[in-house]
């Protein structure tokens, strides 16, 4: 566990911002029929003021949707970190996972629905706990029965290594 993670864990409070769930479910769920959970990271009185100089109620947000029929998988639909709070998303995701993991033996799997050029490095690093190359990424998606038609991971295929000698069907780029 990193020092930064410990700082966030000790100086912030994770909150399910329930009043935003329906709003984002409706706004983002147009054709997707999303059941959203919005999580906020609220700074406590001992949070370093320099990183929250504008005194925001939350220093970041993560919008997650549930994987229909599975309680152990969540899609990250969006994330936001306030100006000056760069780098909080990865530990923030870990905090949400720990909060959602009621049974420590059954981990929550969190995957981004969309990976863009701007966040491909973050997701490459984050998803390395599940897979490190395109082939193992394909296996991860298949093993967990994650619908590849709902994923937009084209940018990830640009940062992950592939094994050129193997004929790999890139489900991430469908």
Can you give the pLDDT at residue 68?
A: 76
Q: Give SS3 for 155.
A: coil
Q: What percent of the chain has pLDDT over 70?
A: 82
Burial 67-104 (b: 16+ CB within 10 A, else e): beeeeebbbbbbbebbeebeebbbbbbbbbeeebeeee
In tens, the pLDDT along 110-169 reads 999 899 999 988 999 999 989 988 889 889 988 988 876 678 888 887 888 776 544 344
Give the pLDDT score at 169: 46
> Considering the domain 1-111, what is its CATH architecture?
3-Layer(aba) Sandwich (3.40)
Number of Cβ within 10 Å of residue 17's Cβ equals 18
Domain coordinates in residue numbering, the chain = 1-111, 114-174
Counting every residue, how long is the chain? 174
- Give the C-alpha distances (Å, rounded to integers) separating 57 from 45, 54, 61: 11, 9, 11
């Amino acid at each position: 566990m990193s020092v930064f993670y410990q700082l966030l864990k000790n100086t912030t409070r994770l909150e399910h911002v329930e009043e935003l769930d329906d709003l984002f479910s409706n706004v983002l769920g147009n054709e997707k029929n999303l059941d959203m959970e919005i999580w906020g990271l609220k700074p406590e009185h001992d949070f370093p003021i320099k990183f929250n100089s504008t005194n925001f109620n939350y220093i970041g947000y993560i919008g997650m949707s549930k994987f229909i029929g599975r309680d152990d998988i969540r899609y990250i639909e969006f994330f936001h970190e306030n100006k000056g709070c760069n780098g909080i998303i990865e530990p923030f995701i870990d905090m949400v996972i720990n909060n959602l993991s009621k049974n420590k033996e059954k981990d929550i799997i969190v995957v981004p629905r969309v990976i863009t050029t701007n966040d491909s490095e973050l997701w490459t690093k984050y998803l390395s706990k599940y897979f490190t190359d395109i082939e193992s990424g394909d296996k991860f998606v298949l093993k967990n029965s994650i619908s590849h038609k709902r994923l937009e991971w084209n940018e990830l295929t640009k940062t992950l290594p592939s094994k050129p000698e193997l004929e790999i069907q890139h489900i991430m780029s469908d």
